[in-house]
Amino acid sequence: MFEHALKPLLSEARSPIKAIFEPGSYGVMLFFLVSGYIVPASLEHRGSLRAFWVSRVFRLYPLFGVGAVGMVGLVALGWDAPHIWWSTRQASLVLGHLTMLQNLLCMPNLINVLWTLSYEMAFYLLLTALFTFGMNRASTTIALGFTSLSMLGASILPVGLLSVGGSGRMLTVALLVTALVAVGLISVLVGSGTVRRAGAVVVGVTVLALLAVNQSYPGPWQGMLIMATMFSGTVLNRVDRGEISWKRAGWAAVVPLAGIWLARDEFGFQVAIAAAWITFGLGMALRNRRMPRVLVWLGLVSYSIYILHPLLLETVEWFWPEPSAVPLSLRLLALVLVIGLLLGLSMLTWRLVEAPSQQLGKRLVSTRSWIRKDCSEIV
């Protein structure tokens, strides 16, 4: 939120700050470490891909929909201008956002922050394929594999190879990817034996292909580094649970070191990577201590903060298209007001959207026997 507030509210400080520390990259890398730590452990604890996907759908999509409606509202008011493709490639962009793979389909994001959800969804899909084949515990090897691809991607991996080339080609790729992911995922969730494994292969290969040749922002090597970072979070969870030794887990240190080396021309990004890993390490060291209630609450509403803050900042930018012409004191006051309004709205969306939808997902999991499928039927 601070990263995105720099442009409309603290424009004179944006370049100096980002030159020595990129707050957005710090937040993103820390988020992916946390996600890698939590999500696979949740899947393995349940032992059910069906329960996992029910919980993920009810966790992500309801508020995602609220954010999309909010952005459409800003456009209707004339407070924001959508990408030109929203008037020429609507079907493609809608499909891309429904799968949450829009960024890996080389599409503009309806809300600028949604690009990170594409990597989160790619992570879920890869976990599904790995879990199906019983390979989900090879986290260290997978993290190092994506690190190697990151090093490779810095020099030879293409950008947007599949989707670039006109609206017809983009729609074809979007339809094909949607069909492959849907059929593959359905096969994994409701099929058995060979059908399940074939579905897992389709899902895994599709996602790996998009990661390898069709990323747009932030680019091939950074996208691969993100995947390596998430699987590194899983490695740290495994050592935390006593599943692997610290000696084996130590290989995960290659991931931030590779990222720092690849970002050798971007000092602010290097500092952000190092700071994210240090912060995560401190979090692990303090994980058994009681956290201040305000931090626990911020964690609870963090998804709402993530989805809603761009909408508020887009509104500020519409009112103040030239922030440097506005007195600094007024902009600082606006920043305080935006933060207060953001926290208030996030509390409301948590109570009215997130919590009820998550409870509904939990009720479905607890009452439907076909969802509570034991992992012995999967591996």
C-alpha span between 194 and 181 (Å, rounded): 17
Kindly give the parts of the chain with pLDDT less than 50: 374-379
Q: Is residue 328 part of a domain?
A: yes
Query: How far, in Å, CA of 197 to CA of 178, rounded?
Result: 19
Q: What is the pLDDT of residue 373?
A: 54
Q: Is residue 373 part of a domain?
A: no
What's the number of domains the chain is made of?
A: 1
Do 274 and 287 meet the contact criterion of CB atoms below 8 Å apart?
no
Give pLDDT, residue 152: 84
- Among 211, 237, 199, smallest CA distance to 121 is for 211
Residues in the chain: 379
CA atoms of 88 and 97, how far apart (whole Å): 16
Is 133 part of a structural domain of the chain? yes
Instruction: Establish if 307 belongs to a structural domain.
Output: yes
Q: Is 324 among the domain residues?
A: yes
3-state secondary structure 74-87: HHHHCCCCCCCHHH
> What tokens were used for 40?
């696979």
Q: What is the pLDDT of residue 31?
A: 96
pLDDT confidence of residue 367 = 82
Please tell me the predicted confidence (pLDDT) of residue 226: 97
User: What secondary structure letter does DSSP report for 292?
Assistant: P
Rounded to two decimals, what is the model's pTM?
0.94
Which pLDDT value is given to residue 159?
Answer: 84
**DSSP string over 315-370:** HHHHH-SSGGGS-HHHHHHHHHHHHHHHHHHHHHHIIIIIHHHHHHHHHHHHH-TT
Predicted local distance difference test score (pLDDT) of residue 372: 57
317 within domain boundaries: yes
- Residue 238: domain span: 2-366
Read off the pLDDT of residues 178-200 as tens digits, 9 standing for 90 and up.
999 999 999 999 998 999 999 99
Does residue 35 lie in a domain region? Answer: yes
**For residue 59, is it within any domain?**
yes
